[in-house]
Homo-oligomer: A and B are copies of this chain.
Amino acid sequence: MANKVSCIFLAAAPGITQLLHHFQKRYAFHKSAVDRLIQSVTSRRTPRSVYDPIRYVMSGGGKRLRAVLTILACEALGGRARSALNAAVAIELLHNFTLVHDDVMDHARLRRNKKTVHERWDTNTAILAGDEMIALAYAVLQRPAGRTPPQVLAVFTRAFVEVCEGQGFDKEFESRGNVSVREYSAMIRQKTARVISAAAEIGALAANAGPRERKALRSYGEHIGMAFQMNDDLLDIIGDQRAFGKAIGGDIAEGKKTLLLLRAIERAGARDRQFLRSLRPGARIPRKMVDRVRRLYITTGAVDEVRRNIASMTRAAQRALSGIPAGRGKAMLSWLADELVERSA
């Protein structure tokens, strides 16, 4: 990755270390603008039974990946960060709404090393706080009043429709014996990649991009989104719980049909296959069992294959960037694609 960026920037950049430092600073700069707007949008609102949990979720850290991506996409096409800020926060609210509701549905107890909303309060609170988050998202997306391009609203809404559909398939697959790799891919495209690709596309729209650039950023976002989800699947089984912020093995306990599981089932011997097939959602999965699953994911080559898939999706994302003009903004998107799959949390 260092090579790639240095190739692009051999002439313009003073040195690779400085460039990386610049990217990190820029990311942090945008993230803090996003955090400030989130704070101003959610503060001093009532009823507290609805907004306290929202403030709890929205101040609970997180990388603000989707929001920062929205802004970076806008900047990479010559737009000003400010033009994308409201949409960036709307995307972040949409994403966090899905987390709050999905955590209820997945019985997740931890998120970013904090109790989930339904654990800290209760299910009713999580339902209503989530609902209000998506309502707020649309309110922020329409700022300043009357100035939001219809395409922005359309892309946002399509992502919203599909992220719910993706979650529906994900839950359906939990109780289904046979799920194909193709179905898995279609599911994570809807559930994870669509919001990330919407972030990039909306950033492009905020920069008044033409159709070619808009398409390039949509494709970039979709590919990093796919890579992101597969990396998340990996971290669920081989990650460090503190860094990951969620319980390790949660996917197994929930019966999630990840690519890791699908491939391991295909390739394991008869006894191991039977064991993998016997994993049922809802059951308390003991640590020893998680360890056995992890070993099987490694020995069957499932982990290696998923890593190859992640690398290939990341390359495809980089290729998509060929559709936008060279520059520091583009280099930063390229850097971001690599950063995402090297993350441990």
Contact B128 A171 (CB under 8 A): yes
Q: How far is the CB of A115 from chain B (nearest CB, A)?
A: 19
Contact A153 B153 (CB under 8 A): yes
Interfacial chain B residues near A37, Cβ < 8 Å: none
Interfacial chain B residues near A165, Cβ < 8 Å: 45-47, 50, 132
A94: nearest chain-B partner, CB-CB:
B135
Contact A135 B150 (CB under 8 A): no
Interfacial chain B residues near A128, Cβ < 8 Å: 101, 105, 164, 167-168, 171
Interfacial chain B residues near A172, Cβ < 8 Å: 47-49
Interfacial chain B residues near A322, Cβ < 8 Å: none
Contact A138 B160 (CB under 8 A): yes
Q: Which one, A7-15, A141-149, A222-230, is touching chain B?
A: A141-149
Name A49's contact: one of B50, B154, B158, B171 (CB within 8 Å): B171
Interfacial chain B residues near A132, Cβ < 8 Å: 161, 164-165, 168
Q: How far is the CB of A143 from chain B (nearest CB, A)?
A: 10
* Known pairs A48-B172, A138-B160, A146-B150 / 8 extra A-B pairs, C-beta < 8 Å: A49-B171, A104-B124, A127-B127, A130-B131, A131-B164, A134-B134, A142-B153, A153-B153
> What are 19 of the A-B contact pairs (CB < 8 Å)?
A46-B165, A47-B172, A49-B168, A50-B164, A50-B165, A101-B127, A105-B127, A128-B167, A128-B171, A132-B164, A132-B165, A135-B160, A138-B153, A139-B157, A142-B150, A146-B150, A146-B154, A147-B150, A148-B150
